[in-house]
Amino acid sequence: MRQTSIRAFCEALYCAYTPLDAFTVSAIGEIRFSARATNVGAQSVHSVEFIGVRELSRNRARPSQLGEGDALELSVIEIEREAAGWRVWFNPWYIEEIEFHCARILLDGFEVTGTGRWLQDDLPVA
């Protein structure tokens, strides 16, 4: 299978938009969504899959003004390699913390691989 790095995953999704209900775990333990990113005026859509999801928690930091039809902006992203897979953390504009663990991560069909941790909290460095 084709592979991508932890850093490339976070950089690709930084400030991308996804539906409000994107972080819904399916009956088979997966989260799947599309994320729309803009980079230097060019738009791209990424397919994101988290497989073997467990321990999903969502902590709202403050009341949200978001409503039906609005999108989450993935403004802070962190993933960390663990012995049994990954720890994933999103903080869309400090509205809410979304954290979970999963067995595998795919971005556009590429498997995320590597060790360590990456936090994307600013524009990627060219």
pLDDT digit string, tens, across residues 11-40: 999 999 998 889 999 999 999 999 998 877
For residue 41, how many other CB atoms are within 10 A of its CB?
Answer: 5
pLDDT at 124: 72
User: How long, in residues, is the chain?
Assistant: 126
Q: Region 66-74: what's the mean pLDDT?
A: 76
Asked if the model's pLDDT at residue 45 lies above 80, the reply is yes
* pTM of the shown model: 0.89
Percent of the chain with pLDDT over 70: 90
3 state SS for 100-117: EEECEEEECCEEEECCCE
Domain boundaries, the chain: 3-120
